[in-house]
A and B are shown apart, each in its own frame.
Chain A
Amino acid sequence: MENECELVRMCIEAACESRESVDTWRRQRRSLERLPSHLADALLRRLHRRRLLFPALLEVFKYSVEVIDLRNENSVNEEWMAYIGAFRYLRSLNVSTCRRINNSALWALTGMTSLMELDLSRCTKVTDAGVKHLLSISTLQRLHISETGLTANGVALLSSLTNLSVLDLGGLPVTDQALSSLQVLTKLQYLDLWGTKISNKGATILQGFPKLSFLNLAWTNVTNVPYMSSLECLNLSNCSINDLLLEGDVGYKAPLAKLQFSGSTFVKEEETFLNIETSFLIYLDVSNSSLNRFCFLAHMESLEHLDLSSCMMGDDSVELVACIGAKLRDLNLSKTRVSSAGVGILAGHVPNLENLSLSLTAIDDVAISYISMMPSLRVIDLSKNNIKGLIQQVDTATNSLTALQSLRYLERLNLEQTQVRDAALRPLSNFQNLRHISLRSASLTDISLYQMSSLSILTNISIRDAVLTNLALDLFRPPATLKVLDLRGCWLLTEDVISLFCKRHPHIEVRHEFAHVFPVQNSCNGPSPSGISSRTSPLNKKPWKMPVSQSFVDQRLKYSKEDLLVLRYSPLSLAYPHDAEIVRTELQ
């Protein structure tokens, strides 16, 4: 939509240019009330991204906005919620990981009449008392309250929200008893119960949800999953699995589309899969599981995504994957015992494979010629194995990477931590569709960097831990499309050269221990975009070594001087001991 309407996009951009431009239009009440919701939503999103949004400004969107997404925003508190609660047509509100949201902030939402979707995930201050405020929103259909402070009693209260079709209770202490009180929610289609206290007894209750199609029971003590006729997606990662979906009516099995058994242990490996209807299965993740034999793959002809990483998979079982390879698009074989011979078995049987991972396997350069026979490949991960890029013949060495030239769609190539050296990378200059290249080795030098110049549509270059010199970076002509240049660990480069490069190419994000000024695409005067600037903070001299969380930002950067002056006297600043002191001295 936004792509089609260029002028609309330009208007939104102009409206969010600066605080001053916001002030010119925010009094145009009549226009604001007439604003179609998709435009109002887009304008609000843009304001938020530009960090121009503050509680009182929300008021102008009261009659137009339908969707608000403020996730990860630390400043969102009761004041924000008071404005949001007055939104007449709000359909969806996402305040996940807004750490300051508490029970009294939720009070503002009481009685909202159009709210259908609410995400409170990881709002740790929300407890059972907060849930009571939500019970009056009878229109709620999708509720996410994972990892909040709810107890089993609070969960049981949700039974009065009878329109719920999506309920995410992940990480809450949901007991069998609490689950049974939710049985009245017969419209439930999606139920997330990872990490809850549900036992096998509770799992039998799940049969009572007639429309349930998505179920997540990862990290629970459930070992037996009962039969559910409409189930399509099931996640039992990190569970110990005994009986799975034993059918109720003879002859009919649920048409499963997605199964996740990552890190699971199977008590009765072979029987388990016999009981499942697998011919419709599109997605299977058995990474890290205890599986030893892979005969169950035989009937999964519809499979598009298969994750076998960290499994006991070896060359002897690859044949089974090859047999069902026709539709495969993603195949992860990293950390398996598959060798070049195994890759050879796959070649020719996976015409649609787009994404292949062979990281941490025993493959060598012979595998590359087999990989070149998989015509649809877009993404190849060959990191952390013994590939040299050269095949030594009697008296000459040939470049094995040359074979990959036949892959017309190849976009990403990962050769990090392999034995590849400069000379072996020469064929890369012919990979004209390559967008991402990742290299990491102490034996790479300037020559490798030069070779990247000729790849015309590269967007990401990563050459880590290489012996790059200042001169090389100085002379480097990056492709016009380049967005990210990752040079972390290139210890020979000096601060001057990196800052000079940044200055010369302001649109390229340079990652290096010395690079602290990153291009901020949406630069604005005053407040800084905190989300992106976590790495750009001038305080982080060595950002990669400091234990700084992603969302960290110096709070002072987020506000202009005027804001700070206003904040000084707001009652909230009492929460900070330092400010409290100032107030106290003033009171005296």
Chain B
Amino acid sequence: MKKEDTVKLISAEGFEFVIDKEAAMVSQTIRNMLTSPGSFAETQHGEVTFPEISTTILEKICQYFYWSLQYARGKETEFHIEPELTLELMMAANYLHT
């Protein structure tokens, strides 16, 4: 994988998730960060830090990104959300416009 094709998402605890740029673009917020011209540090380094999002939630978010891509391509599987994650995941998804 070329470095330009991936992004690094960093959780509140400092965990790093390297995922395809295409997957990360499922989030409207990340898309804006990566595509807006100019000064965003995120654009240059391909790194985004989320001090508000815990590792567990960010992992789930990344899973969702890939599930969403597959779903869009016609693979109709279910995306299971554990009830204990719903509130935090909801808030993260809201922030990420996902």
Contact = CB atoms under 8 A, between A and B. Distances in A.
Q: Are A and B interaction partners?
A: yes
Contacts of B93: 5, 7-8, 11
Given A4-B28, A7-B98, A8-B98, A15 B90 contact: yes
Given A10-B81, A14-B83, A31 B88 contact: yes
Nearest to B61: A7
A11 B86 contact: yes
A6 B91 contact: no
Contacts of B91: 31, 34-36, 39
A5 B98 CA distance: 5
A15 B94 contact: no
Question: How many A residues touch the partner, as a band?
Answer: 20 to 34
A14 B86 contact: yes
A32 interface: yes
Interface of B: 28, 61, 64, 68, 79-84, 86-91, 93-94, 97-98
Contacts of B88: 28, 31
Given A7-B64, A7-B89, A31-B88, A39 B83 contact: no
B90 A39 contact: yes
Interface string A32-63: 10111001000100000000000000000000
B97 A11 contact: no
A552 interface: no
A21 interface: yes
Contacts of A25: 83-84, 86-87
Interface string A171-202: 00000000000000000000000000000000
A36 B94 contact: yes
A17 B81 CA distance: 10
29 contacts: A5-B94, A6-B68, A7-B64, A7-B68, A7-B98, A8-B94, A8-B98, A11-B87, A11-B89, A11-B90, A14-B86, A15-B83, A15-B87, A17-B83, A20-B83, A21-B86, A24-B83, A25-B84, A28-B87, A31-B87, A31-B91, A32-B87, A35-B87, A35-B90, A35-B91, A36-B94, A39-B90, A39-B91, A43-B90
A35 B87 CA distance: 8
A574 interface: no
Given A5-B98, A12-B86, A15-B83, 19 more contacts: A4-B28, A6-B98, A7-B98, A8-B94, A10-B79, A10-B81, A11-B90, A15-B86, A15-B87, A22-B83, A24-B84, A25-B84, A25-B87, A28-B88, A31-B87, A35-B91, A36-B91, A39-B94, A43-B90
